[in-house]
């Protein structure tokens, strides 16, 4: 029998839902370079929305895991998990008895998706009131590991994806700390892959108007999304969209990190991608993902050392032969 509390939760969840109509209104503002890019962005967005909407109703990490395990194609699964992670943050007040442990249980159940879990957690802080203050107080920072800073990356991504006005997708960072600004710029760069729809002139314009010290971070985020979201369209390693050395290395580092996240979250899709590369590109992918799978421990800096590790990787990751 359905109680009053369940009915109230159901009504609130229905009001919060990311409907196809709401998504389509936003996606209509983007201008992808071709129909294939637009179709992929739409498919990813709807999988994210499915994870968010399902989890608003069920609020159960086990149900998320079962849904992911049952997917015949694991390519879209991480985006379902990302949407679920946002819902666990957004609907915590509706499920006070379960909210405290929801993300920890999700991380324990789906460890290969931890990057998307932290990023999805950050989505909530892009839309809730007093966003920056709330992010600073977030229980996200009490989780173990190096990747909690991806919450700020996810917050920036969501701010750009949901709110930034085309044709210029500006998202000023609300944090003064250098590490947080770097994470924010990476999330902004990741979002540009979606909202710019593969149009290089939009990327160039955003980079040109960003502080020079943060441009490499924008390109790192762009590289991550190029690999993680766009891997299905890649037949070889893409060239960096900048001739500037630090920006090119940052793009390659983001590419390496995105491929590593794919290797962990979607092993079947990753293997298919690796098998269709030539020997040189496949060797590079194996080398750099092996390297990224050996992160350092969390340190005492604000972001746990994540940004410093990424910047160190940029000096260590080899340049692909065709890009040398």
- Give the tens place of pLDDT for each residue, 139-171: 999 998 899 999 999 999 999 999 998 888 999
Give the pair of three-digit tokens for residue 66: 């079962």
What is the residue range of 32's domain?
12-323
| Residue 6 belongs to a domain | no
**Residue 2 pLDDT exceeds 70:** no
Coil, helix or strand for 31? coil
**Residue 323 pLDDT exceeds 60:** no
- The helix-helix angle for 35-58 and 61-69 (nearest 10°) equals 140
Q: How confident is the model at residue 23 (pLDDT cuts 50, 70, 90)?
A: very high
| Residue 1 belongs to a domain | no
Strand (E) positions, the chain?
none
Whether the Cβ atoms of residue 84 and residue 54 lie closer than 8 Å to each other: yes
pLDDT given for residue 5 in this prediction: 64
| Nearest CA-CA partner of 295 in 155, 149, 156, 121 | 149
- The helix-helix angle for 20-27 and 35-58 (nearest 10°) equals 150
| Residue 301 belongs to a domain | yes
pLDDT given for residue 324 in this prediction: 45
**Locus of tokens 């060797």:** 283
User: Is the bond leading into 167 cis (omega within 30 degrees of zero)?
Assistant: yes
Residue 30 CB coordination number (10 Å): 20
Convert the pLDDT of each residue in 29-80 to its tens digit: 998 888 999 999 999 999 999 999 999 999 999 999 999 999 988 999 999 9
pLDDT given for residue 92 in this prediction: 86
pLDDT given for residue 280 in this prediction: 96
Coil, helix or strand for 23? helix
| Residue 31 belongs to a domain | yes
Give the pair of three-digit tokens for residue 231: 């891997």
| Residue 153 belongs to a domain | yes
Radius of gyration of the chain (CA): 19
Whether the Cβ atoms of residue 153 and residue 187 lie closer than 8 Å to each other: yes
pLDDT given for residue 1 in this prediction: 45
Reported as type and span, the H/E element at residue 135 is helix 131-136
| Residue 75 belongs to a domain | yes
Convert the pLDDT of each residue in 256-308 to its tens digit: 999 999 999 999 999 999 999 999 999 999 999 999 999 999 999 989 999 99
Convert the pLDDT of each residue in 96-135 to its tens digit: 888 889 999 999 999 999 999 999 999 999 999 999 999 9
Convert the pLDDT of each residue in 208-247 to its tens digit: 999 999 999 999 999 999 999 999 989 999 999 999 999 9
Burial annotation 216-227 (CB, 10 A radius, 16+ → b, else e): bbbbbbbbbbbb
| Alpha carbon distance 149, 54 (integer Å) | 26
pLDDT given for residue 4 in this prediction: 64
| Residue 126 belongs to a domain | yes
| Residue 2 belongs to a domain | no
**Residue 82 pLDDT exceeds 80:** yes
| Nearest CA-CA partner of 179 in 299, 296, 304, 295 | 304
Mean pLDDT of the chain: 93
Q: What domain count does the chain have?
A: 1
């Amino acid at each position: 029998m359905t109680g009053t509390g369940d009915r109230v939760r159901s009504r609130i969840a229905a009001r919060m839902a990311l409907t196809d109509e709401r998504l389509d209104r936003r996606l209509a503002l983007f201008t992808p370079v071709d129909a294939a890019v637009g179709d992929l962005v739409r498919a990813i967005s709807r999988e994210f929305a499915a994870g968010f909407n399902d989890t608003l109703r069920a609020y159960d990490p086990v149900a998320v895991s079962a849904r992911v395990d049952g997917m015949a194609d694991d390519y879209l699964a991480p985006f379902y998990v990302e949407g679920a992670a946002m819902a666990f943050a957004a609907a915590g007040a509706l499920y006070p008895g379960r909210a405290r442990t929801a993300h920890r249980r999700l991380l324990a159940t789906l460890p290969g998706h931890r990057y998307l879990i932290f990023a999805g957690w950050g989505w909530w802080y892009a839309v809730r009131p007093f966003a920056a203050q709330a992010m600073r107080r977030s229980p996200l920072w009490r989780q173990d590991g190096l990747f909690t800073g991806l919450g700020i990356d996810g917050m920036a991504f969501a701010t750009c994806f949901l709110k930034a006005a085309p044709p210029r997708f500006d998202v000023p960072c609300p944090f003064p700390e250098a590490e947080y600004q770097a994470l924010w710029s990476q999330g902004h760069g990741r979002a540009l892959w979606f909202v710019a729809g593969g149009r290089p002139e939009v990327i160039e314009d955003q980079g040109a108007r960003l502080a020079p010290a943060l441009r490499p971070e924008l390109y790192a985020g762009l590289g991550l999304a190029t690999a993680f979201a766009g891997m299905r369209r890649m037949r070889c390693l893409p060239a960096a969209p900048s001739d500037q050395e630090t920006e090119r290395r940052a793009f390659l580092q983001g590419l390496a990190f995105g491929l590593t996240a794919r290797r962990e979250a979607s092993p079947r899709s990753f293997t298919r991608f690796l098998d269709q590369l030539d020997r040189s590109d496949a060797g590079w992918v194996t080398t750099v993902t092996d390297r990224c799978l050996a992160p350092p421990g969390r340190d005492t800096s604000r972001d746990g050392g994540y940004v410093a590790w990424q910047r160190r990787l940029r000096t260590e990751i080899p340049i692909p032969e065709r890009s040398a």
